[in-house]
Structure formats: structure tokens, C-alpha cells
Amino acid sequence: MDSLLRKKIENGDELCPADLKRLLLLENQEDLQILYQAAYKMKLRHIGNKVSLRGLIEFSNICTKNCYYCGIRKGNHAVQRYCMTPDEILAEAETAWKWGLGSVVLQSGERSDRDFTDFVEQIVREIKRISNGELGITLSCGEQSEEVYRRWFEAGAHRYLLRIEAGDPEFYTTLHPADHSYHDRKQCLKTLKRCGYQTGSGVMIGLPGQTVDHLVTDLLFFRELDLDMIGMGPYIIHKDTPLAVQFPDFQQKTEFQLTAALKMIAVTRLFLKDVNIASTTALQALRDDGRELGIQAGANVIMPNVTDTSFRSSYQLYQGKPGVNDAPESGMTDLKKRLDAIGETILFNTWGDSPHFRKY
């Protein structure tokens, strides 16, 4: 890395698109350590040595969409479909609350029928009620109308995750069928912000056909939309998907993808500074300590899975998802130990809002 660029990242200066690209192209171990350390310093400056947790509840794998990369796409008939009952969801939210997780993420496949939108609204209200309004609620249930986003917000959800998946419109079309619209998805992100949600988006990293220029476009997209939260993780092959069939020779290059994902996390932290960045489960799928490495590269949020283990094997967005059989409790004790070992403290019983959102 040349000394000028090094100085820039160590001082936390503004980065231009050419800088972003040069950082994403770094390969040498010494340079990568300088990058991760600069990003971690930026995290310390804006967030401190703190990690926020969200209990992830994957409440339904029924999906009306057909994204080419996803294991629970509508066209995959090998998946056993489920939707948890309100009692099952509430029990999991209560567990998260008792463990002091402070907030939950309700994630599912995408449906826009009235039964579903009413169901989600009701669940949000109930979670608020049983936790005396204390549990924060993030939704991740795909593209919806403004009216639905407003209803869910009024019921008590205050954050929403909707990954753009690929910031470049042309690249987006290679990952989705023709009736999935980049434009609509981008509009949804704008609508979510207008409704008052802390809004999160992100992309997969290491997709077949993805270039460094695509990743720079992703970073510029995050800034353009002025997002509060970013969630990114490696793309992991699921054999029963069109993307796996279309690229039979595409191998999971674990080391390469792990480094690419860590670089993206670090550069996002340096570029956007005060946003929440998730260290995702998909990182852990590549390497046992993947989530800790994500934190050390600048991420500050971890989403432990609190979904009952009996449902987990049916919510395989990708293969080799970690913790499919783990009891949630053991996962928590383990996580505490792991974060302790890298000098990070868990923020219990807080929503862990994005400092970027609080400023505005």
C-alpha cells in the first residue's frame, strides 16, 4: 500500500472511488492487517469496543420469489415449508429478551398476501406487548408496499433489513429472474427510510461474475442511499439453485471469499464510518472464528440464531449453515467467551441503534 493511502485510512480521511478500489484489491498480508486495524480503529472511535446482538428468528421459509442463489426459493421443491405459530415465535422472542439480547430480527421468505402482512403486524404488536415495549424489532421480510411498511412500523418495528444483493443494476439481473426488479427494490429502501425505519441493506460477496468494480458500486450505493446498517456476507453455494447449476465449475474458494468479505467490511467501515455493520453467520460458515474476524475488521453487530432447532434445517439459504443443530444456549455462552477473548464487550439489554441514524 502506498504511504499516502495508508496515511488516509489511518487518519480516517474521505476516500474516493479509486481509493476504494485500491483497498479492495489489496492482497499482501501486511497490507491487509493495516487495513483491518484502521477499520477497527474507526469502529472504536464511533462505537467503542462494543458489540450489539440481535436474536435472529427465521419464522417462515415460504417464499414467492425465485432468486437464483437462494436455497429456499419458490422453485426449490426439495424444501419442507413451514411458518411458525404466533406462540412459537413469541416463545423465541421471550428467550431472546430473557438472555438480554435487547432486540430481535424477524426474518422470512417474501409474501405479500394479506394473511401474511396481518400476521407479521400482529406478531410485532405481541412481541412489544409481552416485553413491555422493551424488545427492539427489526424486520427482514422482503419487498412490500408503503402501506404495509407503515403498518408494521406503527405496530412497533423500527429497523428493516433489505439487501440490494448487487448495487449494479445489470449485475442484479444476472442473479434474478426477469420479474424481480432492481428498481423496485431500491425504491423499497427509499420508502423504508421515509417511513422512519433505520434501514439496512447489503450484498453478497464472491458471487460468480462479481468484479471489484461491482463492489465499489455497492459501496457507492450504500452511501447514495444514506443507509444506517450494512449486512454483507460471502455467497455460499446451494446445490439446488439455478446459480449452482449455471456455474458447475464455480468452487467455494473459502480463503479468497473470507478475505474478500473482511475487506468489504473494513472498507465499508472506513467509508461510511458510523453505521452499524453486521458480522454475519455466513462468515462463520467459512471459518469457525469468521464472526470474530468480522468484528476485528470493523463490524459491530452479531445476530445469534434463536430459531428453534427443529426449524433450522428447513431454513438453509445456503449449504453448510453453521449451528443447524446447536442448542441456542450453548451458542450464547460460546459467543461471550469468543468476544471476551478479542477485548469486546456485549451490550446487553439495549437496542443497539445505528449511531448514524441517531444523528439525524
242-256: b or e for each residue (b if 16 or more CB lie within 10 Å)? Answer: bbbeeeeeeebeeee
Torsion over CA: 99, 159, 292, 326 (sign) = positive
Site string for ligand SAH, 160-189 (x = CB under 6 A): --xx-x------------------------
Find which of ligand SAH, ligand SF4, none residue 162 binds, CB within 5 to 8 Å per kind. ligand SAH
Cβ–Cβ under 8 Å, residues 301 and 54: yes
Could you say which DSSP state residue 113 is in? S
Contact set for ligand SF4, span 7-66 (CB under 6 A): 63, 65
Among 55, 136, 142, 352, binds ligand SAH (CB under 6 A): 142
Residue in 320, 202, 223, 204 with CA at minimum distance from that of residue 261: 204
73 lies in the site for ligand SF4, by CB under 6 A: yes
Find which of ligand SAH, ligand SF4, none residue 73 binds, CB within 5 to 8 Å per kind. ligand SF4
Q: How many CB atoms lie within 10 A of CB 266?
A: 30
Q: What distance in Å separates the CA atoms of residue 302 and residue 280, rounded to the nearest whole number?
A: 7
CA angle 180, 184, 185 (to 5 degrees): 80
287 lies in the site for ligand SAH, by CB under 6 A: no
Q: Quickly list H helices, the chain.
A: 3-11, 17-24, 29-46, 86-98, 114-130, 146-155, 169-175, 182-195, 212-224, 242-246, 254-272, 281-286, 290-296, 309-312, 328-341, 355-358
Contact set for ligand SAH, span 73-112 (CB under 6 A): 107, 109-110
Find which of ligand SF4, ligand SAH, none residue 235 binds, CB within 5 to 8 Å per kind. ligand SAH
Instruction: Candidates 69-77, 95-103, 232-240, 260-268: pick the segment binding ligand SF4 (CB under 6 A).
Output: 69-77
Instruction: Candidates 76-84, 235-243, 337-345, 347-355: pick the segment binding ligand SAH (CB under 6 A).
Output: 235-243
Residues that bind ligand SAH (CB under 6 A): 69-70, 107, 109-110, 140, 142, 162-163, 165, 204, 233, 235-236, 238, 282, 317-318
Residues that bind ligand SF4 (CB under 6 A): 63, 65, 67, 70, 72-73, 109-110, 142
